[in-house]
Structure 1
């Protein structure tokens, strides 16, 4: 199977993204469809992976950024039917190393795939990093 990666937001299949995030992702289940669409529309950058044969969107990542020095990586996924082909690495590489934010400070939250992110220099935060967790309905799950 062949794949293509693209950072064109006009090409995104919002239905495919919503289907994965609402049915399979362990994170961000508090969001409704309108919230996910708003996050996609207002993202600093999006990248997606497409199956060359069917054209279907099979992987996705989005980022928030000030466009100058800092970025946050979010909603990274590869559909289970397409895992094991290097798409996760390719998505993160396109987003971080091949994009306009390659020299930025990148952040993310994840309960899994630490090995993937470590390849790109992600590590536990140092002593200068503080975070105020989300409250109430925005609280993230503690297990995948």
Structure 2
């Protein structure tokens, strides 16, 4: 599936994903510091993965979802290249993920230490009972 916005597109097509870029972004984040490239590649392959691209095909963002495509989805590894931040593209990427026809009726969960404000905009709520800062989004 492909979503288009002036000068950009989001796709769930695995063949378009640029693993070296994804590994660089994810491997530098607090939640995956030092995760080996082969592990990142396998996790991307075994998930419903989304790339955010400039119209030229250059990948500038990534998100992946672990899901049964029926009841539950876990949003993970949402990253935007530093050069593309501040333009609302991360919000658009998350909205495309949430609007994917295989996921739209599933309950979403995620864990974040620092992006609660972003995800609250999409209906995620903090679950105070969890030891980690887990947020959930009710079934549609």
TM-score, reference length from structure 1: 0.80
Gaps in structure 2 of 5+ consecutive residues: 1-5, 133-140
Q: Mind listing any 5+ residue stretches in structure 1 that lack a counterpart?
A: 133-144
2:19 is equivalent to residue 14 of structure 1 = yes
Q: What is the alpha-carbon root mean square deviation over aligned residues?
A: 1.9
Distance in 2 between residues matched to 1:105 and 1:22, nearest whole Å: 27
Q: Given that residues 70 and 102 in structure 2 are in contact (C-alpha distance below 8 angstroms), is that contact kept between their aligned partners in structure 1?
A: no
The Cα of 1:94 is off from its aligned counterpart by 0.8
Query: Which residue does the alignment assign to 2:42?
Result: 38
1:1-144 equivalences in 2 (<5 Å): 2-23=7-28, 25-43=29-47, 45-53=48-56, 55-125=57-127
SS in structure 2 opposite 1:108? strand
Return the alpha-carbon distance in structure 1 between the equivalents of residues 12 and 131 of structure 2: 29
Runs of 4+ in 1 over 3 A off after TM superposition: none
TM-score, structure 2 normalization: 0.82
Compute the displacement of 1:2 (Å): 2.2
Separation of aligned partners in 2, 1:14 and 1:57? 10
What do the CA deviations read for 1:85-127 (whole angstroms, capped 9, x no partner)? 1111111111112332112110001112222211111111266
Distance 2:27 2:49 in 1: 18
How many aligned positions are there?
Answer: 127
